[in-house]
Amino acid sequence: AQKVTQAQTEISVVEKEDVTLDCVYETRDTTYYLFWYKQPPSGELVFLIRRNSFDEQNEISGRYSWNFQKSTSSFNFTITASQVVDSAVYFCALIEDSNYQLIWGAGTKLIIKP
Amino acid sequence: SAVISQKPSRDICQRGTSLTIQCQVDSQVTMMFWYRQQPGQSLTLIATANQGSEATYESGFVIDKFPISRPNLTFSTLTVSNMSPEDSSIYLCSVERRGADTQYFGPGTRLTVL
């Protein structure tokens, strides 16, 4: 069965520190998509990135970077030089090519202290 | 991406009443979904809103409790019927265009049932 695990329930760091959010997934499909979403206190879910199973290239977008490793079934998210505005709950999710349904991790609450 | 709006953004309702939440997209989309997010939890899919036909409900959700309409490709409503305090959640709609494999979310409706 598909599953997404975010083992870190809550992380608290001081502003400007780097922080990595872990995501481990399980699937039997060879074709699948992985996602990260950000949910600030306002409640809206903001799409950050999609990665398909055939593209293991790491991605960098400003202070955000993602490390996709099929060998360990992980899709980790790193924020460098964190800022208070990064404080949010971050969700990792998975869709298998054969199924439209998003499988969600439990989320990691990130607190950035000034 | 798509611009998605939801109305109302929040509401406080009395037990036993019903609330209808609207989701409007700025362009035609193939798939529309409704999710519930209980306090401190991840997202749970309620149903897929199908244009011109009955919604497809996930296990644990029934049409009598959560009737859904989708009269066209840009609009859907979710009604939370006969509410109880356990229905207090954020309700989110999401949309996906055919082949896009990415869901974009509305801002959510924060519901409190007294």
Q: Is the pLDDT of residue A1 over 70?
A: no
Cα distance from N-terminal residue to C-terminal residue, chain A: 41
Task: For B104, list phi and psi in degrees, rounded to 5.
Answer: -110, 140
> One-letter amino acid identity for A56?
E
Calculate the average pLDDT of chain B. Answer: 93
pLDDT reported for residue B52:
80
Lowest mean pLDDT among A76-85, B53-62, B83-92, B96-105: B96-105
Backbone angle region of A33, left / alpha / beta, with phi > 0 → left and psi within -120 to 50 → alpha: beta
**Bond prior to B8 in cis (omega within 30° of 0):** yes
- Chain B residues touching A95 at Cβ < 8 A: 101
Distance (Å) from the alpha carbon of A25 to chain B's nearest alpha carbon = 16
Tell me how far apart the 2 most distant CA atoms of chain A are, in Å: 44
Three-state DSSP state, B105: strand
Calculate the average pLDDT of chain A. Answer: 94
Q: A64-95, pLDDT tens digit by residue? A: 999 999 999 999 999 999 999 999 999 999 99
Q: B56-80, pLDDT tens digit by residue? A: 999 999 999 999 999 999 999 999 9
Interface check A95 vs B, CB under 8 A: yes
Q: Which of B21, B43, B104 to mutate to test the interface with A (most CBs of A within 10 A)?
A: B43
Task: For A29, list phi and psi in degrees, rounded to 5.
Answer: -75, 150
- Chain B residues touching A100 at Cβ < 8 A: 31, 48, 96
